[in-house]
A = this chain, B = another copy of it.
Amino acid sequence: MLKLSRLADYAIVILVKLGEQDGVVTSPALAGITGVPEPTVAKVLKVLSAHGFVLSQRGAKGGYRLARSLAEMSVASVIAAVDGQIALTACVGGRECDTGLSCGLCGSWDVINTAIRSTLEGISLESMRPKEACSTVLHQINKLNVAQTIREGA
C-alpha cells in the first residue's frame, strides 16, 4: 500500500520527542511520553542506537539521548535504519526481479526510487516538530509545489 512500517513511524516520533527532553531519558519514560508500548519503544531505541542515532547510557540512572541534533537527521536515514533501504520495487541497483523477467521498466523505477528517496533525504526531523516548525514544513511544501508545477508544466 506504499505505507511506512509502524516501527519507522514510531522511530521518528521517538526521536523527535527525545530531542525535546533534557539529559538522558529511559525507555519507560519515552513510552509514557509517546504512548507507544514500552517494549516496542525499547526495540526501536535498540535499532536507533545500533545505527548511531542515539547514545545509550547503561546501568542505573541510564537512558538514551540524541547522538546529534534533529536538524542533522533526515527522515530517509531513519527509515533506512529501521526498515532497510528505500526500494519501491525488487529491481533496484541492478538486482534481479525474482520472476527473472526483463520487463525493461527497472530503469524507470530506479528514477522514481531516487526521486522519492532524495525528497525524504531533504526533510530533517527538525522540520517534523509540531509547534514552531509548522511554518518550516509549510515553507518546504511550498517549494515542493513549485517544483511540482515546474514538472507538470513540462
Tell whether A72 is near chain B: CB-to-CB under 8 Å.
no
Chain B residues, Cβ within 8 Å of A13: 101, 103, 105
Min distance, Cβ A11 to any Cβ of chain B, angstroms: 12
Tell whether A62 is near chain B: CB-to-CB under 8 Å.
no
Number of this chain's copies in the assembly equals 2
Tell whether A118 is near chain B: CB-to-CB under 8 Å.
yes
Tell whether A107 is near chain B: CB-to-CB under 8 Å.
yes
Min distance, Cβ A5 to any Cβ of chain B, angstroms: 7
Knowing A1-B87, A86-B2, A108-B137 touch, does A144 contact B115 (C-beta < 8 A)? yes
Chain B residues, Cβ within 8 Å of A120: 112
Knowing A119-B119, A144-B147, A150-B146 touch, does A4 contact B3 (C-beta < 8 A)? no
Knowing A83-B2, A137-B111 touch, does A150 contact B147 (C-beta < 8 A)? yes
